Amino acid sequence: MSFWPKSRKARARLTVILAVAPVLALAVGLAMYGMRDSISLFYTPAQAAEAHVKPGRKVQLGGLVQTGSVVKHPNGDVEFVVADQKATAKVTYHGDLPDLFREGQGIVAEGTFDENGVFVAKQVLAKHDERYMPREVSKALKEQGEWRGEGEKPSYGQPAAGKPAP
């Protein structure tokens, strides 16, 4: 029994497939290799702690800015803590924060963790109105039972956006 089919047409098709498959596999491999640093995974503080994200790996960190944690330095550096229900992560950022950045608000920070476990943000994104929260943040908060929904009390003691304190 031979590997090659007896039909001339079938042999031609098999030859084309055997010639194209390695070229296609090489192209896909090179594309994935080229994009390896472009992929930015999303984590909440608890997920980042569980995953043991390597220092220098570009990721997105999302959660709520913990009340009382924002410290602004004269040189433009800002330190704050991002929290979910299970964990917290210290974040440092150099630059101007978005106008809507506030304690108790949902944010997504893009950057890397350093060797000490501090998240060094290159960009900070804040929600743009009281009804909006990035999909990844709301999904992760719902999974952890932290989702405030409509009118629910937050667990951090501050009133929900646009809602008076009880």
Q: Where are the domains of the chain?
A: 1-36, 41-143
pLDDT of residue 137 exceeding 60, the answer is yes
pLDDT of residue 163 exceeding 70, the answer is no
Q: Which two tokens stand for residue 134?
A: 């990035």
For residue 65, the surrounding DSSP H or E stretch is strand 59-65
Q: Report which residue type is found at 151.
A: G
The C-alpha atoms of residue 104 and residue 29 are separated, in whole angstroms, by 43
Q: What value does the mean pLDDT of the chain take?
A: 83
The domain made up of 41-143 is a member of CATH 2.60.40.10: no
pLDDT of residue 151 exceeding 50, the answer is no
Q: What is the pTM of this model?
A: 0.61
pLDDT tens per residue, range 90-122: 999 999 898 888 888 889 999 999 999 999 999
More confident residue, 103 or 157: 103
